[in-house]
Amino acid sequence: MTPETLLAHADCATSWPPENLEQCRHDVTSAYRDALAVRGLRVARGEYPVGLNVEFTNRTIWQCYAVFAPIWGTVWNTTLARCEGEATLDLTGVSQLRLEPEVAFCMSATPPANAWLEEPFSCVDWLASSFKVVQSHCLGWKFNAAQAVADGALHAHLLVGKPTPVSQIAGSGADLDKLLAQTHLKLYRGHELIDTGVGSNVLDGPLHALLHFVHELATCPEAPSLQAGSIVTTGTWTDAWPVREGETWHYETNTPFASLQVAFR
In the chain, what are the domains? Answer: 3-264 (3.90.850.10)
Helical spans, DSSP H, in 99-233: 118-122, 145-150, 173-182, 206-219
Q: In tens digits, what is the pLDDT along the chain, a chain of 265 residues?
A: 899 999 999 999 999 987 656 555 678 999 999 999 999 999 999 999 999 999 999 999 999 999 999 999 999 999 999 998 899 999 999 999 999 999 999 999 999 988 888 999 999 999 999 999 999 999 999 999 999 999 999 999 999 999 999 999 999 999 999 999 999 999 999 999 999 999 999 999 999 999 999 998 888 878 888 999 999 999 999 999 999 999 999 999 988 777 899 999 9
| Most distant CA pair in the chain, distance | 53
Other C-beta atoms within 10 Å of 115: how many? 19
pTM above 0.85, yes or no: yes
pLDDT the model gives residue 21: 60
Rounded-to-integer distance, Cα 95 and Cα 208, Å:
30
**H or E stretch covering 236:** none
